[in-house]
């Protein structure tokens, strides 16, 4: 018998209580947080879908591994376990441990970047772009056209536009610092990249003598889509698919807080010895010695084990199917969202949900606050609060989309938690016409979404 129900392929042996609250209490919490969920204490959140980063539940095997963590400053046994695991997965000789993804990004893009340099990606994640731009270089996004249309169905919306890549490589020649393929494409909706697309990118990079890097923090989730959607891939294991993709690249940057199933960690993996040597020198200055790079021995044990567990077919099947379970249920109810559903999150189109709230009044922020008020659910606005800019006259130039991301932590919530989220959306839909927009009353100059204060209109 083939079951309809997606069961969590684990039993729970340690629990973390959730503090339940009433709508009245949450209304007060929201006011105290100036209607910005980033300012809510996590104790007042019932279901936290702010991010899938660093929020995974570790397995019994990982916790047991932590007890074996070797905290030696140099040559730690735990480091060798992590190094071997990453080498086996990526096929890359040189591995540099970092405390999280952006530390690896700062090292590699700080080294390759600088004024006049250009980086090209399907979509640079915010911290990737920030590290590139901070070096003085430019970051250009070239997703395929299908990837820019939220409602359109396409199996690999995370793909890079290869024609645009060929043109840019010819135009910028020796000034291209690297080409970066983000798998899955987080900023583009957690959408997968096909093996054929990665191979196309690799071919063009080789032709032009340009470095090709994978931003691989969700590479296992990407492998699930490749196996199930791409011709000729069904017979490979998820891990083999990831290994094939790594084989195409010259290096990889990883935030282990996602698909390594840990709460903290990252790495940079490279093939080229001279480049690795230069990066290692930078690593030692700010992260730590080359055999720990800002991580405890126990963290490195947990990463080594997490990188194995994430490729377990029953885990990955549960992971991807349970994310789309939420997305498909909301879609069926008539909640406008990004299609098809990606690997780690569901992205709601707040502009279409609240057509009466203009971008200047931040419809995404409205949904974020409604989800918290009605259900204690925390999500994040990815729209004009995050990406809006002011022109010279001081008027807001809105972002191209007004999205809200519901990111699903790995192995943390059960199906009944997800049913609760779906039920909360019934009320969001029922009351959508009464929802009101917001104005910003206080904001910093950079990254305002983290700390801005809002007032309801
Ligand atoms: N690259 C991608 C594609 C990411 O999604 C992230 C983090 C990073 C790099 C940076 O890694 O946080 O370990 O420094 N994404 C988190 C998120 C923050 O919520 O999507 P980090």
Range of the domain at 238: 60-309
Which secondary-structure segment (H or E) carries 31? helix 23-32
- Rounded mean pLDDT, 118-125: 96
Q: What percent of the chain has pLDDT over 90?
A: 93
400 falls in which pLDDT band (50, 70, 90)? Answer: confident
446 falls in which pLDDT band (50, 70, 90)? Answer: confident
Tokens at 232, concatenated? 């000729």
Residue 53, ligand 1, Cβ within 6 A: yes
Where in 307-362 does DSSP place strands (E)? Answer: 345-349
User: 157 with 132, same domain?
Assistant: yes
Hey, whose CA ends up nearest to atom 11 of ligand 1? Answer: 101
Looking at 286, 309, 332, the residue that finishes a domain is 309
Residue 288 falls in which region: left (phi positive, over 0), alpha (psi -120 to 50) or beta: left
Task: Among 54, 56, 101, name the best residue to mutate to test ligand 1's pocket (greatest count of ligand atoms within 8 A of Cβ).
Answer: 101
User: 48 with 64, same domain?
Assistant: no
Residue 122, ligand 1, Cβ within 6 A: no
Atom of ligand 1 nearest to the CA of 50: 19
Q: Quick check: 387 pLDDT over 90?
A: no
User: 215 with 317, same domain?
Assistant: no
pLDDT for 394 equals 87
Q: Which residue has the tokens 């009944």?
A: 416
How many whole angstroms from 288 Cα to the centroid of ligand 1? 21
pLDDT digits (tens, 9 = 90+) for 248-266: 999 999 999 999 999 999 9
Looking at 262, 283, 309, the residue that finishes a domain is 309
Residue 267, ligand 1, Cβ within 6 A: no
- Rounded mean pLDDT, 291-305: 97
How many whole angstroms from 432 Cα to the centroid of ligand 1? 31
Q: Which residue has the tokens 């259900």?
A: 375
Q: Quick check: 389 pLDDT over 90?
A: no
307, 267 Cβ separation under 8 angstroms: no
User: 332 with 402, same domain?
Assistant: yes
pLDDT for 8 equals 95
User: 149 with 181, same domain?
Assistant: yes
Task: Among 183, 193, 219, 258, name the best residue to mutate to test ligand 1's pocket (greatest count of ligand atoms within 8 A of Cβ).
Answer: 258
**Alpha carbon of 133 to those of 86, 109, 112, 175, 362: distances in Å?**
28, 9, 12, 14, 27
First to last CA, the chain: 54
pLDDT digits (tens, 9 = 90+) for 351-374: 999 999 999 999 999 999 999 999
How many whole angstroms from 260 Cα to the centroid of ligand 1? 13
- Rounded mean pLDDT, 444-451: 87
User: 360 with 437, same domain?
Assistant: yes
Angle subtended at Cα 362 by Cα 356 and Cα 365, rounded to the nearest 5 degrees? 110
pLDDT for 282 equals 97
pLDDT for 326 equals 98
Domain count, the chain: 2
pLDDT digits (tens, 9 = 90+) for 132-191: 999 999 999 999 999 988 889 999 999 999 999 999 999 999 999 999 999 999 887 899
pLDDT digits (tens, 9 = 90+) for 61-104: 999 999 999 999 999 999 999 999 999 999 999 999 999 999 99
User: 191 with 229, same domain?
Assistant: yes
**Within a domain: residue 10?**
no
Contacts of 251 (CB under 8 A, 6+ apart): 92, 108, 211, 212, 213, 214, 268, 269, 270, 271, 272, 275
DSSP string, 191-213: B---HHHHHHHHHHHHHHT--EE
Residue 278 sits in a domain of what CATH number?
3.40.640.10
Q: Which residue has the tokens 């640079």?
A: 124
450 falls in which pLDDT band (50, 70, 90)? Answer: very high
Tokens at 137, concatenated? 């270089």
User: 329 with 303, same domain?
Assistant: no
Residue 215, ligand 1, Cβ within 6 A: yes
349, 402 Cβ separation under 8 angstroms: yes
User: 338 with 451, same domain?
Assistant: yes
Looking at 276, 309, 342, the residue that finishes a domain is 309
CA neighbor of 178 nearest in space, from 205, 201, 211: 211
Residue 128, ligand 1, Cβ within 6 A: yes
Q: Which residue has the tokens 């590139």?
A: 132
User: 137 with 223, same domain?
Assistant: yes
DSSP letter at 157? T
**Within a domain: residue 261?**
yes
CA neighbor of 378 nearest in space, from 133, 89, 51, 157: 51
Which secondary-structure segment (H or E) carries 284? helix 273-286
Residue 37 sits in a domain of what CATH number?
3.90.1150.10
Tokens at 252, concatenated? 């990889």
Q: Quick check: 376 pLDDT over 90?
A: yes
**Within a domain: residue 273?**
yes
Q: Give me the chain's average pLDDT, please.
A: 96
- The Cα–Cα gap between 424 and 430 comes to 10
User: 250 with 343, same domain?
Assistant: no
Contacts of 76 (CB under 8 A, 6+ apart): 70, 291, 292, 297, 300
Q: Quick check: 2 pLDDT over 90?
A: no
**Within a domain: residue 3?**
no
222, 183 Cβ separation under 8 angstroms: yes
Contacts of 184 (CB under 8 A, 6+ apart): 158, 190, 191, 192, 193, 218, 221, 222, 225, 342, 343, 344
**Within a domain: residue 183?**
yes
Q: Which residue has the tokens 């096929």?
A: 91
**Within a domain: residue 113?**
yes
How many whole angstroms from 127 Cα to the centroid of ligand 1? 7
User: 83 with 148, same domain?
Assistant: yes
**Within a domain: residue 11?**
no
Residue 263, ligand 1, Cβ within 6 A: no
pLDDT digits (tens, 9 = 90+) for 316-352: 999 999 999 999 999 999 999 999 999 999 999 999 9
């Amino acid at each position: 018998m083939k079951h309809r129900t997606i069961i969590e392929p684990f039993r729970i042996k340690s629990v973390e209580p959730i503090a339940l609250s009433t709508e009245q209490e949450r209304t007060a919490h929201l006011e105290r947080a100036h209607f910005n969920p980033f300012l809510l204490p996590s104790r007042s959140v019932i279901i936290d879908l702010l991010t899938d980063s660093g929020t995974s539940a570790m397995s019994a095997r990982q916790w047991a591994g932590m007890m074996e963590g070797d905290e030696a400053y140099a040559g730690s046994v735990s480091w060798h376990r992590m190094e071997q695991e990453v080498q086996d997965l990526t096929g890359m000789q040189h591995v540099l441990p970092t405390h999280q993804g952006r530390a690896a990004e700062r090292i590699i893009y700080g080294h390759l970047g600088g004024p006049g340099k250009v980086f090209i990606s399907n979509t640079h994640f915010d911290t990737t772009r920030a590290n590139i731009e901070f070096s003085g270089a430019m970051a250009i996004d070239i997703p395929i056209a299908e990837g820019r249309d939220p409602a359109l169905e396409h199996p690999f919306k995370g793909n890079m536009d290869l024609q645009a890549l060929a043109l840019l490589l010819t135009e910028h020649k020796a000034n291209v610092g690297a080409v970066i393929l983000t798998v899955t494409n987080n900023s583009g909706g957690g959408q997968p990249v096909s093996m054929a697309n990665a191979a196309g990118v690799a071919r063009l990079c080789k032709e032009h003598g340009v470095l090709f890097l994978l931003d691989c923090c969700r590479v296992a989730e990407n492998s699930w889509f490749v196996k199930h959607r791409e011709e000729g891939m069904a017979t490979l294991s998820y891990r083999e698919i990831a290994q094939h993709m790594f084989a195409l690249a010259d290096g990889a940057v990883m935030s282990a807080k996602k698909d390594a199933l840990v709460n903290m960690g990252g790495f940079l993996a490279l093939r080229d010895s001279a480049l690795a040597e230069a990066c290692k020198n930078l690593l030692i200055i700010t992260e730590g010695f080359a055999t720990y790079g800002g991580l405890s021995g126990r963290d490195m044990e947990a990463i080594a084990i997490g990188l194995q567990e994430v490729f377990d077919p029953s885990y990955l099947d549960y992971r991807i199917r349970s994310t789309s379970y939420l997305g498909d249920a909301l879609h069926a109810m008539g909640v406008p969202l990004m299609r098809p559903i990606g690997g780690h999150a569901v992205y709601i189109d707040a502009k279409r949900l609240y057509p009466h709230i203009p971008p200047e009044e931040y419809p995404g922020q409205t949904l974020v606050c409604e989800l918290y008020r009605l259900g204690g659910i925390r999500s994040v606005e990815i729209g004009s609060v995050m990406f809006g800019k002011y022109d010279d006259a001081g008027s807001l130039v809105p972002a191209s989309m007004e999205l809200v991301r519901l990111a699903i932590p790995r192995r943390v919530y059960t199906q009944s938690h997800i049913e609760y989220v779906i039920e909360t959306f019934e009320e969001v839909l029922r009351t959508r016409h009464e929802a009101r927009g917001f104005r910003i009353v206080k904001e910093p100059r950079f990254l305002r979404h983290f700390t801005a204060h809002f007032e309801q209109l």
